[in-house]
Amino acid sequence: MLITKLSRSTLASIVTRPMTKRCYAAAANSEPVKKTALYDFHVKHGGKMVPFAGYAMPVQYANMGMLASHHHTREKASIFDVSHMLQSRLTGKDRNKFFETLVVADLQNLPVGQGTLSVFTNEQGGIIDDTIVMQHQDSLYVVSNAGCAEKDLAHIRKHLAEFQKKGGEVEFNVITDHSLIAIQGPKAAAALETLVGQSLADFSFMHGKHMEVAGVPCHIARSGYTGEDGFELSVPTEEIVAVTEKLLAHPDVEMAGLGARDSLRLEAGLCLYGNDLDETTTPVEAGLTWTIPKSRRETGGFLGAEHILPQIKGGVSRRRIGLIVEGAPARGGAEILNKEGEVIGTVTSGCPSPILKKNIAIGYVKNGSHKKGTELDVKVRNKIQKAVVTKMPFVESNYHK
């Protein structure tokens, strides 16, 4: 049954998925596991805690399995603890100029209150991490991956010191006094409106603002990692439990864990760093060329531009694709073959889709085998299974317009 496959194999793949460069790898037994400010809250509510990106995080809750949690998010709304993510802020008159040397976004022309998905790149054009950057009147608000925090901080601080030595006016600070939760699903806005006391209909997708939630000053961004409408709330840590409890009191809201988060983001065709993205993968190969605006393509100025920009015009040797796979689910590391039996790529993420009731996967294949409808094979447990290239997202997104 699909529910058995999702509950058992998804849990195993989240915690043990073999990726040598994975920033999200589960912490080794010898490594101390950190706790978010919601740890006791999770335990109280029946959270099954597992090590993830160096933190103890809930993979699911006692009152709802991963499959049911997935459907609940698609139909109503779920809260995810994402406090393990790295939140930071840049200030100073040269903040946009500095950060544009590290990410591919056009921050100089990003309107106040608007955000964008971007990537940190290295000198070879590989992706160091993916990140959300939000423009505010006097600062940039940045959210990046927990498992990549150490290398992200080292990278930023190294280049910051060089920029400041040349007279650049910018300050960079990690936000340590706020926790982060996401409420996702078609009922997310209605639930949040009860705590902000106003309509959120005019709050556009990928925009952010400072608002009070149940009387608590918070930063709210209309964004998420599920393909659904939703919000990410940066809340003072001393208030995070109270705010989460009040959101959870809404009849349409439940808690959700890593299991549902992974299957939701896969249906949405969204990348997981360390699986679908790494430092050997460029934005063009990853299908993220759209994150590089026209102005940046013309001027460059970011690390690895001399490698990335020619790829936009000249093409790449491999491309990220979506697959529908027959038979057993194809997990990260499974070989992708053409009909002549030649290995042409690798699956990087995969799971059964609760909505489609089919097995879906993300992977990379040689250029030319990436077109929609191309019939391929995937090797799963030494068995050859049929697969077909399909467009992503696998399930239509429901972002607020």
What pLDDT, on the 0 to 100 scale, is given for residue 356?
99
What does the alpha-carbon distance between residue 135 and residue 155 come to, in Å, rounded to a whole number?
21
Q: Which residue has the tokens 């109280």?
A: 44
pLDDT digits (tens, 9 = 90+) for 341-366: 999 999 999 999 999 999 999 999 99
First and final C-alpha spacing in the chain: 36
At 32, the pLDDT band (50, 70, 90 cuts) reads: confident
- Rounded alpha-carbon distances, angstroms, from residue 110 to 100, 224, 273: 11, 19, 24
Q: CB-based contacts of 181: which residues, under 8 Å, 6+ apart?
A: 38, 79, 80, 81, 82, 83, 232, 233, 235, 240, 243, 244, 247
Letter string b/e over residues 304-313, b meaning 16 or more CB atoms within 10 A of that residue's CB:
bbebbbebee
Mean pLDDT for the stretch of residues 63-87? 99
pLDDT digits (tens, 9 = 90+) for 320-348: 999 999 999 999 999 999 999 999 999 99
Q: What percent of the chain has pLDDT over 70?
A: 92
pLDDT digits (tens, 9 = 90+) for 137-177: 999 999 999 999 999 999 999 999 999 999 999 999 999 99
At 210, the pLDDT band (50, 70, 90 cuts) reads: very high
Please tell me whether 335 is known to bind a ligand.
Answer: no
Average pLDDT, the chain: 94
Spell out the domains of the chain, with CATH numbers in brackets.
Answer: 1-316 (3.30.1360.120), 317-395 (2.40.30.110)
Count of CA atoms in the C-beta half-sphere (13 A) of 134: 22
**Does the reported pTM lie above 0.85?**
yes
Q: Look at residue 50 and give its three-state secondary structure.
A: strand
What pLDDT, on the 0 to 100 scale, is given for residue 11?
45
Phi/psi for 129 (5° steps) reads: -170, 160
Q: Can the peptide bond before residue 18 be classed as cis, meaning omega within 30 degrees of 0?
A: no
pLDDT digits (tens, 9 = 90+) for 93-136: 999 999 999 999 999 999 999 999 999 999 999 999 999 999 99
